[in-house]
Every structure is written in structure tokens, then in C-alpha cells.
Amino acid sequence: MSVRALGFALLAAGPALAADGGPLLGEIVTRIGQVAAIPADQRQVPGFAGAWRRSAAQDKVLERIVALENRVKPCSDVRVLDTVQAAPDLIETRPQRIHHALERWTVKACGATRQYDAWYSFEKATSRLVVAESGTGDFQAALDPPYRRLLELAAVRRAEEAGGSVRWLNLPLPADSMPAANVSSAAGWSADFVPAGDSPREWTQLVSVQGVPRLKSAGQARAMLEGMQQARGRRCGVAPGAVDAVPGEDATSGTSVQTYLVCPQVPDTNYAEMAVVKAIEGPDYLYVIQRAWRLPAADAARIQFDSRQPKAAAEAFLAQVRLCNPAGDKSACPSPFPR
């Protein structure tokens, strides 16, 4: 028996652990080069898992937690209080490609509050899920290096969050969103999402989120959006639009600005593009989020008129996009973006 197989066998046998083979219900294998966030098709539980795990996967973890609770004594009153991404995701590439993820679920069961770890190991046709009461599965780290690394990263994340040096980004994507692109490098990270059925290139709507390393000086958010306006103006032959401060967000989110981009006809195409873009200065990244639409090409006045409803929808979406400090109040981030 391999070390990995032995580890899962021990986990399944433990009194405070439950393992399950796969493939896991509700999970999607993407063709994107990096780990791609998959928005939930339905929110079954609050917090991270409810926003970024398919409903069948949420049900599977809850089912395992209920089973573990009932090993001690019967309990039908199990309620999930919160779910968080405990550590950054990991990718193994040899001998085969495996995606590892760790979540922490806080539940209240018959009056007692407990935390459980949900460890996912996603690989083609043989994905696995292990659920353990937090702290009781540490012996598994000696058998499985990815799990040990996830626990190490989780400890670092808890320290960073407690110190107030990182922020969560609330990103409540439309229900039919699917990942279209995902990039991560020393220069920052980005992810694009399109409606189910759209292709990464021939999209009709787009949500894009980007993290750029922060500069020490203030004004990075405004400079970024002003640069986007100038580039759009040169490309589309329109005057750059205004960049406006978002009132009431500085105290909780950091400096936040927003702009409306319009291109009456994208060069060499027969369509127009419009987008509302928001930039937020966090202590860790400059976050740039946009909601965009493509419309039939027309003159600028016609596009302004035709894009009234998409513009209103984009503004409503971006009004929910904010940063939270997990060391203080994280209640304003019910859909924290994976990081």
C-alpha cells in the first residue's frame, strides 16, 4: 500500500475523521493552467465554502461532519456557523497533477461549538475528501506531505490575519459564472469569469478581478484607472472619462475609486464594449475589479443609451465588492475571493 493510500485508510478508520473517495460530486476540472476558483451553483452554507464550492461538495462535507458528531452521541441539531479557506491551494505536478485545498468549518452541534478541517485532494477520477475535527488529524501530516504543507500554510495565514496585514475581497459573482482565465506571478494575479456557455474570447459579459502589488505612495488606485481611461481613449477614439471616489468606503476598505469605460466599436470587430471598474487600495494589494458587457457597435451616444441597464447592473455588483479585515469585522465579506 502506498503512503498516500495508507494515509487515507488511517483517516477513514480514526474516531474523529471521515474520508470519502471520488470523483467528488459537483466539482469541475478546468483546463486553466493554474488553480481556478469555481463559484458555487447554490449556497448551502455560509462563508467561503458556500460561495466557492459546488452545492454537492458543500453537502458532502456537512454530511461527514454530522456523521462524526453522531459517533459520540446522537445529535440532529448541527448548524454551520462559518466556513473559511484555511490555506492557499496547492498543486502537485508529479507523478500526476493533483490539486489540494483546505477549509475550516465552524459548527454548532447540540450546544457545542467545534471546528472541522475539510481537506480536498482533486485529481482526475480519483478525487478524495477528508473531514477531521481540527487538531485531531495532525498525525496525518507525517504521512502526507501536501497535508503537512497545508497545515503549515494555515498557521501562517492565521498569524497574518490576526496581525491585520491582509484583507479579504468580497466577490459575489453572478450565479452562472464560470472561470475563463487565471494567472499568477510575481507581478500579481488575475482571474476572469464569464457566463456559462460563453467562451473566454467570445464572451458577452465578463467579471475580471486583479491583484497588483501595492506601492508605498498613495494614489495608486486613481492612477491605475486614469491609465485605463487613457488607453481606452487612444484605442477607441473617445475622450477619457472621469475617475470618481467611492464615498463611504475609505474607513473599511481603503481608498476606493470607480470609473465607466466605453468603446463604441472595438477595432476590427462589430461590437462595442462597456465596463464599470473599481480599484481599492488594500495594505497587501491594489485590487482592480470590473464588470463588462459587449453590445452591437454604434456611435458613442447610442452606446451610452443602450448600456444604461448593464451599467446599473455593474454598479450594483461593484457596490458589494469591498475589502474586509479578518482581524476585525469580516461580516461584510460573505463571499471572500480565494487567495
Average pLDDT over residues 292-302: 93
Does residue 39 register a pLDDT over 70? yes
Q: Which of 33-37, 91-95, 179-183, 224-228 has the highest mean pLDDT?
A: 224-228
What percentage of the chain exceeds 70 in pLDDT?
86
Average pLDDT over residues 259-276: 95
Strand-pair category, 78-85 with 177-185: unpaired
Query: Which pLDDT score, from 0 to 100, does residue 14 have?
Result: 41
pLDDT, tens only, 174-228: 888 999 988 888 889 999 999 989 988 899 999 999 999 998 888 999 999 999 9
Does residue 250 register a pLDDT over 90? no
The CATH class of 168-324 is alpha beta
Low-confidence winner among 2-16, 171-185, 308-322 (lowest mean pLDDT): 2-16
Give one DSSP letter per residue of 308-324, joined into a string: HHHHHHHHHHHHT--EE
Determine if residue 137 is left, alpha or beta; phi over 0 gives left, psi from -120 to 50 gives alpha, anything else beta: alpha
Average pLDDT over residues 333-338: 93
* Bridge partners (DSSP) listed for residue 256: 280
Phi, psi of 337 (to 5 degrees): -70, 135
154's grid cell: 494555515
Average pLDDT over residues 38-45: 91
Which of 106, 134, 110 lies closest to 47 in space, CA to CA? Answer: 106
H-helix or E-strand spanning residue 221: helix 220-236
Query: Which pLDDT score, from 0 to 100, does residue 103 have?
Result: 95
| Residues 292 and 274 sit within 8 Å (Cβ to Cβ) | yes
pLDDT, tens only, 125-182: 778 888 989 887 666 655 678 888 999 999 999 999 999 888 999 999 988 899 998 8
Q: What is the pTM of this model?
A: 0.85
Query: Which pLDDT score, from 0 to 100, does residue 28 have?
Result: 61
What percentage of the chain exceeds 90 in pLDDT?
55
Q: At which residue does the C-alpha cell 481608498 appear?
A: 255
Domain boundaries, the chain: 3-162, 168-324
Residue type at position 140: Q
Distance CA 151, CA 146 (A): 9
